[in-house]
Amino acid sequence: EVQLLESGGGLVQPGGSLRLSCAASGFTFNSYAMSWVRQAPGKGLEWVSTISASGALTYYADSVKGRFTISRDSPKSTLYLRMNSLRAEDTALYYCAKLHPTYHYDSSGYYGAFDVWGQGTLVPVSS
Amino acid sequence: EIVLTQSPGTLSLSPGERATLFCRASQSVSSSYLAWYQQKPGQAPRLLIYGASNRATGIADRFSGSGSGTDFTLTITRLEAEDFAVYYCQQYGSSPQTFGQGTRVEIK
């Protein structure tokens, strides 16, 4: 069964840091680009970051650029999101998601529909 | 950035009725790189449609997508009880990929 399982969320103070993890199983992890997508409470979906299958290329939304770092460990089939300088507006449920095999890419990023999602991990940022 | 505007905000229908959801882009979505998702309370989104009109694996044929350029449509031909949910469109044709604000399909 194809599965993504996030962990690492929790209450953090403004200015603090957190690292999210996403364990993948049931598919060849190192063959697919992966992303993080977040959803603020009661709000819609926002793309956060994408990493290429090799891990060599990374892309970020302007709202998190310079503060968040996406990475992957292929032997462990695990995706990560390091979040620094957290703000109240980063409060959200963070999902990891796998890009559909029909994804495409250009010099600005990797793009695709998200065909597998984790259950999400909640990151409240509050003092 | 391409802004996606979904309409209506809420659709109140009865089981068995037809649902038509719209997604309008602020500029043309290249190569019909548009997807639709269903999200139920407390659950992650589920991919329904990619490439504007291709059903994802395991999706019932009562779901169909159409459109190109700036105007896209998701149609559910006969609503079943499990279809009442929030639906999002997403464009992945250019950076940054963006989502619409969602349409809630509720039981009338």
User: What percent of chain B lies above the pLDDT cut of 70?
Assistant: 100
Model pLDDT, residue A104: 92
Is residue B31 over pLDDT 90? no
Q: What is the mean pLDDT of residues A8-22?
A: 98
How many other CB atoms are there within 10 angstroms of residue B100's CB atom?
A: 26
Is residue B30 over pLDDT 90? no
Q: Which residues of A touch B50 (CB under 8 A)?
A: 100, 102, 112-113, 115
Q: Measured between CB atoms, which of B31, B47, B88 is closest to A44?
A: B88
Q: Measured between CB atoms, which of B44, B95, B101 is closest to A109?
A: B95
| Chain B interface disruption, residue of A102, A105, A121, A122, most B CBs within 10 A | A102
For residue A27, the 8-state DSSP code is S
- pLDDT tens digits, A39-81: 999 999 999 999 999 999 999 999 999 999 999 999 999 999 9
Is residue A113 over pLDDT 90? yes
Q: How far is CA A14 from the centre of its chain?
A: 20
Q: Is the distance from CB of B102 to CB of B88 less than 8 angstroms?
A: yes
Hey, are the CB atoms on B92 and A118 less than 8 Å from each other?
A: no
Q: Is the distance from CB of A113 to CB of A102 less than 8 angstroms?
A: yes
Hey, are the CB atoms on B94 and A111 less than 8 Å from each other?
A: yes
* Ramachandran sector of residue B67 (left: φ over 0; alpha: ψ -120 to 50; beta: rest): left
> What is the C-alpha separation between B36 and B23, in angstroms, rounded?
9
* Burial of B59 per CB tally in 10 Å (0-12, 13-18, 19+): middle
Mean predicted lDDT score pLDDT of chain B: 97
Instruction: Find residue B34's DSSP bridge partners.
Output: B91
Mean predicted lDDT score pLDDT of chain A: 97
- pLDDT tens digits, B52-103: 999 999 999 999 999 999 999 999 999 999 999 999 999 999 989 999 999 9
> What is the C-alpha separation between B33 and A89, in angstroms, rounded?
29
> What is the C-alpha separation between B29 and B23, in angstroms, rounded?
11
Q: What pairing do the DSSP bridges indicate for beta strands B19-25 and B71-76?
A: antiparallel
How far does B50 lie from chain A, in Å, by closest CA?
6
Q: Is the distance from CB of B73 to CB of B24 less than 8 angstroms?
A: no
Q: Which residues of B touch A44 (CB under 8 A)?
A: 88, 99-102
Q: Which residues of B touch A100 (CB under 8 A)?
A: 47, 50, 56
Model pLDDT, residue B92: 96
Model pLDDT, residue A116: 98
Hey, are the CB atoms on A44 and B99 less than 8 Å from each other?
A: yes
